[in-house]
Structure 1
Amino acid sequence: MPDITPAELKQRQQAGEKPTIIDVRENWEHEEARIDGSQNIPLGSLPEKVDELEDLKDQEVIVHCKSGGRSASAKAFLAQRGFSNVRNLVGGMTAYQQQ
């Protein structure tokens, strides 16, 4: 699945969409700044929490971190676990905040 740009995500949010967004940054990073409606699951906790996300395997899931590196790893991990529609937020939270 192709990644998603901050502009596309913001446009969809402004249109009233509520996509599933998983923030794979650390808890303290999520507390400092977050995307409305995002769920915080730090990358290191993802393997133990993946079973809780089972219902999302066939739905669009957007993952993000600060700049895109950790979320790229999360996207690859989820894809290996059978998630078929995972998209990484290009540029992460840094790019999202600049939109």
Structure 2
Amino acid sequence: MSTTPAPTHSLSPTVLHRLVQEGRAPRLLDVRTPAEFRTAHIPGSCNVPLATLREHRAELLAHLDEDVVLVCRSGTRAAQAEKILADAGLPNLRVLEGGIVAWETAGAPVNRGPERWDMERQVRLVAGSVVLTTGLVGVFVPGVHLIGTAIGAGLMYAAVSNSCAMGVMLSKLPYNRGPRPDIRRVIADLQSPR
């Protein structure tokens, strides 16, 4: 079983907001999906979805020689990104404590786009729907309730392993994908002045 270790370095939303206001903002990499990023993101952040970061880490390293703060919804994917980049040799990494959720809770500014359901909410909807449906159908068809039991076991494993197979599957839906990030565009964004 593979678990993601806690980030070695983190940065609170309050401290990051102060750095941004003082014009000393580190490079902000938002590792959420493009759809999540379009819904709400920290001004000046660059969207490098976790899958893109994983696939193109060698190309990205040449453009990340400064302090980098990794951002996701709550900190989990950012911690995974930190491990990937640290293993590739990037030293100046921090994770935004509590992610974009904590950033917004702190009253810090966000750029907003069309509202979309975040991945966690989608997982709860799908898992709950499957459990409810199989529970009801199971009254009439013996054994169907075991599908709901399997979903429950999967959710428990997701909590223990800090990974979510259902979330990975849902992230592949067109609703969540949006246009696939072009690595050349990501690098151009990283090279542009903040």
Q: TM-score, normalised on structure 1? A: 0.92
Moved more, 11-20 or 83-92: 11-20
Q: 2:55 aligns with which of 48, 52, 56?
A: 48
Instruction: Give the aligned partner of residue 95 of structure 1.
Output: 102
- Residue matched to 1:73: 80
1:2 aligns with 2:9: yes
Structure 2: unaligned runs, 5 residues or longer? 1-7, 107-194
Tell me if structure 2 keeps the 8 A contact 1:25–1:65: yes
For 1:13-92, what aligned pairs fall within 5 Å after superposition? Answer: 13-56=20-63, 58-92=65-99
C-alpha displacement of 1:49: 2.5
CA–CA distance in structure 2, aligned partners of residues 5 and 56 of structure 1:
24
SS in 1 for 2:32: coil
Give the C-alpha shift of residue 44 in structure 1.
Answer: 1.2
Question: What runs of 5+ residues in structure 1 fail to find an aligned partner?
Answer: none
Instruction: Work out the percentage of aligned pairs sharing the same amino acid.
Output: 37
Is this contact kept in 1: 2:54–2:81, CA < 8 A?
no
Hey, what's the Cα distance between the residues in 2 that align with 1:58 and 1:40?
A: 17
Name the count of aligned residue pairs.
99
Which protein, 1 or 2, shows the higher relative CO under an 8 Å CA cutoff with sep ≥ 6? Answer: 1
Normalised by the size of structure 2, how large is the TM-score?
A: 0.48
Aligned-CA RMSD value: 1.4
Mapped to 2, the partners of 1:60 and 1:75 lie a distance apart of: 12
CA contact (8 A) 1:59 1:84 kept: no
The alignment partner of 1:87 has SS state of strand
Q: Could you tell me how far apart the structure 2 residues matched to 1:85 and 1:16 are?
A: 18
What's the offset of the Cα at 1:56? 4.5
The structure number with the bigger radius of gyration is 2
